[in-house]
Structure 1
Amino acid sequence: MAFDYKKEYKDLYQPKRMPAIVTVPAMRFVAVDGVGDPNEEGGDYAKAMQLLYGISFTIKMNKKSNNPDEHIDGYFDYTVPPLEGLWSMEKGVPGVDYTRKTDFYWTSMIRLPEFVTDEVFAWAKASFASKHPEVDINRAYLFDFDEGVVAQVMHKGPYDDEPATVTILDGYARSQGYGLDFSDARRHHEIYLSDPRRAKPENLKTIIRHPVVKVG
């Protein structure tokens, strides 16, 4: 059976509809930065998706390589984790304004298994780029993210309905003695458990995280 991060770490990937305070451990991601509306047809966000999934599946499918020089030390079969995103309106400005999607600053990312070293990542980038010379492979980078303490909740429904869930989440954090702790490094965080191309908007499941710090 392939290792599935969503099933093995249910507290991080299968939260209840009620908010909770959780501590997220350090993880390694492949990431791409960008600006603009993620819904733009053929836009920058779509190009980022090609990079993220291309590199992620290059690593996953290493198991089928017949070249012994390409075999990854410590490799184990796994399910590619869900897409994630860090969002803000501009650097240093917390939160997101859903009415101004063209002004979004985003970091899109996919978690990598623990066996992915700097060398493995460099190989995966080069391998994917050799088959897709049209991509700007240098946009993709390794991102070691130590998120720390967050308020977390599951949002079900369209992305544009998230503000109501965010209000509940932030209110819960304050009721538990926490304040929001946004910064350039700690931003509005979403994890996408549903494929918007296949799921109805009302059935979309998105984990929302806000960085918090204990106050008082």
Structure 2
Amino acid sequence: MKQDWKKADKQFYLPKAKPELVKVPPFKFFSIPGQGDPNDKPFQENIGVLYSLAYTIKMSPKNNFAPRDYFEYTVYPLEGIWDLTEEAKRSNLETLDKSQLVFNLMIRQPDFVTP
């Protein structure tokens, strides 16, 4: 049976209507840090790389290779942590300059994925 993060990990990915504290255990991710406007081509290319890696692992049994302890699963959603450059934090910007965004894009991986 395929593991579906929407069911198995809904406490982390499908929040309730009322805010609550949730203790999140350590998870494994493919991640790419970067800086710049999310509308620019490099940002979109980073997303493509992450999904390419995630789907390569997921589809590996179809290519006659399965990592140890592999199980069928649904690819996790794209996640991101956003911030501003130190320069942007120091300036008193009235409008957001998207080129000053700093990000860490990531897609969670199942436990069988190891470094």
TM > 0.5 between the two? yes
Higher relative contact order (CA 8 A, sep 6+): 2
Q: Shift of residue 105 of structure 1?
A: 0.3
Q: 2:71 aligns with which of 70, 76, 79?
A: 76
CA contact (8 A) 1:86 1:106 kept: yes
Q: CA RMSD in A?
A: 2.0
5 Å matches for 1:1-216?
1-40=1-40, 43-66=41-64, 70-90=65-85, 99-118=96-115
Q: Deviation per CA, 1:46-68, whole angstroms, max 9, x where unpaired? A: 010111000000000012123xx
Equivalent-residue separation in structure 2 for 1:71 and 1:65 (angstroms): 8
**What's the TM-score, normalizing by structure 2?**
0.86
Unpaired runs of 5+ residues, structure 1, are: 119-216
Q: Shift of residue 99 of structure 1?
A: 2.3
Equivalent in the alignment of 1:129: none
Aligned residues: 110
- 4+ residue segments displaced more than 3 Å: none
Q: Shift of residue 16 of structure 1?
A: 1.7
Q: Deviation per CA, 1:44-90, whole angstroms, max 9, x where unpaired? A: 11010111000000000012123xxx331100010000000011102
**Would you tell me which structure has more strand in proportion to its own residues?**
1
Unpaired runs of 5+ residues, structure 2, are: none
